[in-house]
Amino acid sequence: MELLLTHSTALEAYRSTGLRALLAKGEVCPDAIPSCLPAPERLSQLRRYLEFYGFCPKVMEALVSGVGSRRRSSSLRTRVCGRPLPTGSIMVIGEGVACVMPEHLAVQMAPLLTKLELQVLLCELLGVYAIVPSISDGMLQRNSPLMAKESIERHIDRLDRIDGIDLVRQALPATVEGLASPMETRLCLRTVLSPCYGGYGMEIDAANRPLDVDAVGKRGSRKVRKPDFVFGALPGSRAKARFVALEYNGNDHLTRERQAEDERRTNEILAYGGIEYQLNKELYDDLEYMDALMRTIADDIGHPCYRMTEERKRKRRALRLALKEELDRIDGVTWGGRKRGDYRKVATEEPLDAVELVPVDAYGV
């Protein structure tokens, strides 16, 4: 291994369509971190190798172990890691090029991001989509996630003291495996995060996990459905159904054929003992509607509801609005990081109409 892709360049590599087949092999690189960069001529050869697969990052970030090997230019930047990494931290791409594994990438990026940005990134790495701004939909589907919660927990347990470990541990509980789009990630975090962070404090039992149901209208036939979110009824509660399914309907649900299929799915979920609700972008953006929907889902699954003072209600609402707007800003490409203020502080200390909110158009809407 002569060149080890790291940080933002590694993230670009995992999103790259050209490198997908090479990275899918998942061959672990046993080599240690290179002490320095290759010679300029060799580095140009390695760049051309990556360009052959359509991978041309504007700035190449490479990991080295030697402090004296720091480099920074308009097209190249080195990151230094003087500690040895455990086996399984690096993946082979080919031709002398390697990339940090997704589990280690999350640890590397953590100190550069806000907690919410880190949770968004983790949801993508744990999900079945990749953000690709250069294509019309802004994203691609993966056949399987790049990593699992279990694998990243195992990785950070094996790491020596490295910045980012504790940040990943703190961010991981709010993430869900199997999300299929950036909009599902936003909806997930609004749903799962604690009310003191602007969320609804609900637990999602599964995302896009197969359910084997009876195919309505086809006696004896079975159908596999994958609800976006499933909320299980709380044991011992007065739940109204076995579970609640929540579907987010993006632009791909607008065709007549897809709408007919959605209706069939709704009926099959009902026949299976569940309740299904659906959202679109307009309803997602409506805070009052979201508040009412989440209260309804909580009631359906027997989730407890607590009384609050009017002042606490006001503050919680401000936090929910701030979280929603902050998630809209996070596009997964340009990270605001520590430069951006704590949205919770803004929400509780400034009047809502004084907060400058500039939502970014979401992918997957």
Instruction: Give 23-54 pLDDT, tens digit per residue.
Output: 988 789 988 999 999 999 999 999 999 999 99
Reported as a pLDDT band with limits 50, 70 and 90, residue 165 is very high
| CB-based burial label for 59 (10 Å; 0-12, 13-18, 19+) | middle
Give the pLDDT score at 348.
64
Q: Mean pLDDT over all residues of the chain?
A: 89
pLDDT band at residue 253 using 50, 70 and 90 as cut-offs: confident
The number of C-alpha atoms within 13 Å of 235 and in the hemisphere containing its C-beta is 0
Whether 87 has a pLDDT exceeding 70, the answer reads yes
The percent of residues above 90 in pLDDT, for the chain, comes to: 67
Domain edge (last residue) among 100, 119, 137: 100
pLDDT of 346 strictly over 70: no
CA distances from 181 to 177, 178, 249, 346, 348 (A): 12, 9, 11, 28, 30
- What pLDDT does residue 222 have? 79
Which residue range(s) make up the domain with 48? 1-100
Residue 264 has pLDDT above 90, yes or no: no
| 132 within domain boundaries | no
Average pLDDT over residues 64-90: 91
With respect to residue 312, please indicate whether it lies within any of the assigned structural domains.
Answer: no
Taking residues 111-134, what's their average pLDDT?
96
In a domain, 193, yes or no: no
Q: How confident is the model at residue 246 (pLDDT cuts 50, 70, 90)?
A: very high
Residue 192 within a domain: no
Please say which residue of 253, 282, 300 terminates a domain.
300
Q: Nearest CA to 103 among 114, 118, 117, 88?
A: 88
* Highest mean pLDDT, choosing among 81-95, 179-193, 236-250: 179-193
Q: Which residues contact 39 (CB under 8 A, 6 or more apart)?
A: none
Number of domains in the chain: 2
Q: Provide the pLDDT for residue 364.
A: 42
- What does pTM read for this prediction? 0.90
Most confident of 156-170, 173-187, 205-219, 344-358: 173-187
| Rounded mean pLDDT, 276-282 | 95
Q: Which pLDDT belongs to residue 354?
A: 35
* pLDDT, tens digit, 9 for 90 and up, residues 196-240: 999 999 999 999 999 888 777 666 677 788 999 999 998 888 888
E strand spans, the chain: 3-5, 60-64, 76-80, 90-94, 97-100, 129-131, 139-141, 206-207, 211-214, 222-225, 229-232, 243-248, 274-279
**146 Cα distance to chain centroid:** 11
Does 290 fall in a domain?
yes
Domain boundary among 30, 65, 100: 100
Output the pLDDT for position 356: 36
Output the furthest CA–CA distance in the chain (Å, rounded).
71
Q: 182-192 and 115-125 helices cross at what angle (nearest 10)?
A: 130
Say if 74 falls within a structural domain: yes
User: Has residue 134 got a pLDDT over 60?
Assistant: yes
- Which one is predicted more confidently, 120 or 250? 120
Q: What angle do CA 121, 122, 125 make, to 5 degrees?
A: 90
